[in-house]
Amino acid sequence: MKSLFSKQLPKANKTKIGLALGGGGARGFVHIPVLQTLDDLGVKPAHISGTSMGAIIGAIYASGTSPQAIREIVDSMIIYKGEGFKEILQKRGLRKWFELIDPNFFKKGGVIKGNKIVEFLREIIGVDTFEELQIPLSIVATDFHTGEEVVFDSGPLMPAIRASMSLPGLFEPVKHEGRMLIDGGTVNPVPHDLLLDTDFVIAVDVSDLPQTNGQMPSMTDALMGAVEIMGRQLGDNRRAAYPPDIFLRPDFDGVEMTDFHRAEKIFADAQPICQRLKAELKTTLRLAVV
C-alpha cells in the first residue's frame, strides 16, 4: 500500500474522495459504520464503487439515505443479545426475511430468484436510475460467458444491483442486454480501481478466509470457501496494481457471508477500522477530529 503521504492533498473540503465498498455478504454490514464515521467527520465521497453487498449499501447511501437510517433498517430485521420479548415483537422487519425469499425450484442457476430482494431494495433506495442518485456510483458485475468485468454507472439501477449480488449457486444469474451476469466479486471484489477520477481513495475489504478449525468442510462450505479464497487473491492483486490511499479490512474471526444474524458482532468488528480511518483522515486531510 502506498504511503499516506505520497501526494500533496488540499484540505478535506476540496479533496475528491473515492470510496470502494467490497462484497462479502453479511460482513458488508461493516460498510454502515464506515459511512457513519465519514459522516461524523463531514466527509462526503465524490464517487462510490461497490461489488455485491458493497453495491447494495453504496446504492442506498448514494440515494441520500443516512448511515443512521441504514443502521435502523438493519436493526429492525435483527434480534440483538439482551433484547426482551416485547422489543422483539415490535420489530416488524423480522418477517421480511421470510418475505424476501423466492425459491427457484424449477429453473437452473441458483436456489433463489432474487426478485423480492430487488423490490425491497427499490423501496428503500427510492430511485430507478444511476442519474437520480445524489452521489456518482459504479457497480461491478461479471459476464459469466466471457469472464469480463461489467461496470454499470448509468441507466437503470436495479438490474445492476441484482447482477452484482448474483453469487453463483445462490442467486439466479441475470440476463441483461445479451449478457449472462453473475456476482462482481468473481472479477473485482473491492473495485477501488474504478475511482481514478478522485484524489484520494478509501477501500473497504470485507472478505475473510474460510474457518474450518481443522475439520473437513461440508460441500457447501468447501464451495463458499473456494469463492472466498479466490476473492482474496483477486483483491490482493488488484490492490498491488492500484494501491488505495487507505485500505481497511476488519478482523472478523470466523463470521461467514451468510451470518446476517451476527450483525451485532459485525458492527463491533468494524470499530477498530473506523477508529483507524478517523485517525488517518485526520493526519492526511487535516480534519478537525474530536
Distance CA 219, CA 187 (A): 23
Q: How far apart are CA 64 and CA 135, in angstroms?
A: 8
Catalytic pick from 49, 52, 164, 166? 52
Q: How far apart are CA 142 and CA 180, in angstroms?
A: 8
Bridging pattern class, strands 17-21 and 137-143: unpaired
C-alpha cell at 66: 443516512
Taking the C-alpha atoms of residue 50 and residue 20, their distance in angstroms, rounded to an integer, is 6
Check if 52 is active-site.
yes
Strand intervals (E) in 22-79: 47-51
Helix (H, G, I), strand (E, B) or coil at 228: helix
Segment (H or E) for 3: none
Give CA–CA dist 35/17, Å, rounded: 13
Dihedral of the alpha carbons of 110, 181, 192, 187, in degrees to the nearest 10: 80
Is 207 tagged catalytic? Answer: no
Using an 8 Å Cβ cutoff, are 54 and 28 in contact?
yes
Q: Exactly one of 49, 138, 164, 183 is catalytic; which is it?
A: 183
Q: Which of 35, 187, 180, 65 is nearest to 133 (CA)?
A: 65
Query: Which residues are known to be catalytic?
Result: 52, 183
